Amino acid sequence: MSQTPAPKTGFVHKDDSQLRQKRMIAEHFGRLARVGETGEKNVYTFVPGNLTELLRSFDLLLLSYTGCFTFLKWFEILKQEYDCPVVMLHVPYQGAGQITDSM
């Protein structure tokens, strides 16, 4: 049983936070595109949950473990490739929504 898609109006209302996020992302990719010319240190992360602003404050690789062992291996290779230290930011999973002492 399929559903009929909602009609498209051609207009999507975005609130201020969405517009700001869109602008910030566009500005960031603009900086990335100009790195060859400006020499500015910049970063892009393909891992969901990493904060670009946090990464830009470091002069190294930052691994934010997201539950996939493959990411740990990728960063071991990147560490060798770039001959630099790697810092791991691990935010414990809060399955029950409670922070425990071990976290």
Q: Residue 34: what pLDDT?
A: 92
Residue 4 in tokens: 């009929």
Q: Residue 25: what pLDDT?
A: 82
Q: Residue 38: what pLDDT?
A: 93
Extended strands (E) in the chain: 61-64, 86-89
Q: Residue 63: what pLDDT?
A: 67
Q: Residue 37: what pLDDT?
A: 94
Q: What is the pTM of this model?
A: 0.45
Q: Residue 53: what pLDDT?
A: 67
Residues in the chain with pLDDT values less than 70: 1-9, 44-56, 58-59, 61-67
Compute how many other C-beta atoms are within 10 angstroms of the C-beta atom of residue 45. 13
Q: How far is CA 93 from CA 48, 65, 103, in A?
A: 15, 11, 8
Q: Residue 67: what pLDDT?
A: 64
